Structure 1
């Protein structure tokens, strides 16, 4: 069963645990972060349906996190803060937060806000993403749930393996250079010596081959350029 994934960023352990308990009771999957640096790491390695964020956290501030996250993603951000001034609220909403709650809070209000934001986000996602499921030969990839199966068998891909495969599936006739894949998946510049793309493509091939055997190729190497689907 698919569970919507929520990141709770709050340095007060008791408050973080309380919010987590509230959400898990409603069957949400929750990841906790207790500093801005920890939150930034979680945001870089996992996909979330919503982020609940305190502003006054150690390391990277809540405001800096919002700016960092908004450069790449449209995931809803609900700020829950002890800052109550109108200026703080306006500033945070202007830099990219979607909603703002002040402490202390009521359990029912948090749940109501989360449910409302997720409903809006689902509608937004269905309108902006023409397609979530991609098929190629015996392979099916669902981008929204990050689920992949081959010939009816689930395969477990790492985050980077999934992202590479998803990029290839979206444009099955296009040849992607190693540089292009690296920059899209790792969000960094490519300097020509990093073997990460080759290693991850090799791992994807091995996982698919375990199920379909040696006879059918799924990812083709275009020598001197990069990779594409093997049509």
Structure 2
């Protein structure tokens, strides 16, 4: 008899007030959080630069939480060994930025981290089975990195539904990232997400622990209902 599915939360520090990031990381370590998420941008692949690599190195001694790194950049391969050395546990690269994604994922695994592939909203879900020897997770962006308050795009959840039906991907985690909030959380769960990357909604009104409790309350309610249905 199966139990209630557990969905993980990865808190995106790009949305955190960076003047208090050390204090926030310590607080998150005490909360019900599974990963800390870092968006590393180059200003070319995406039109912004929020976090750099130094923050990973500086925050690593403050917490035992796994570091979940999302490389929103062109030509990411050169940075992978340094990121693992700094403390990254999971690294996602973009399908659109890697001419040879299987090779890039292999480099991540060989460096000692779990490897993921990320897809922009405009990118249809490709056949990913050939990446499976190295692929641990797929990150589906559900918002465009076009503005600080980019809206949630519910149509992107179809990629999660399609991906869960794709042959050869058993055991791969499906990560949803972008605009998740308490209102759309049931949709995201229903689509089949395993990991939720949440930023703005966690740091809203500077009440991190209260916001986390709300997310967990909704998750428990949605999953309990799904199990009993």
After TM superposition, is the score higher than 0.5? no
Which structure ranks higher in relative contact order (CA pairs < 8 Å, sequence separation ≥ 6)?
A: 2
TM range (shorter): 0.3 to 0.5
How high is the TM-score relative to the length of structure 2? 0.32
How high is the TM-score relative to the length of structure 1? 0.32
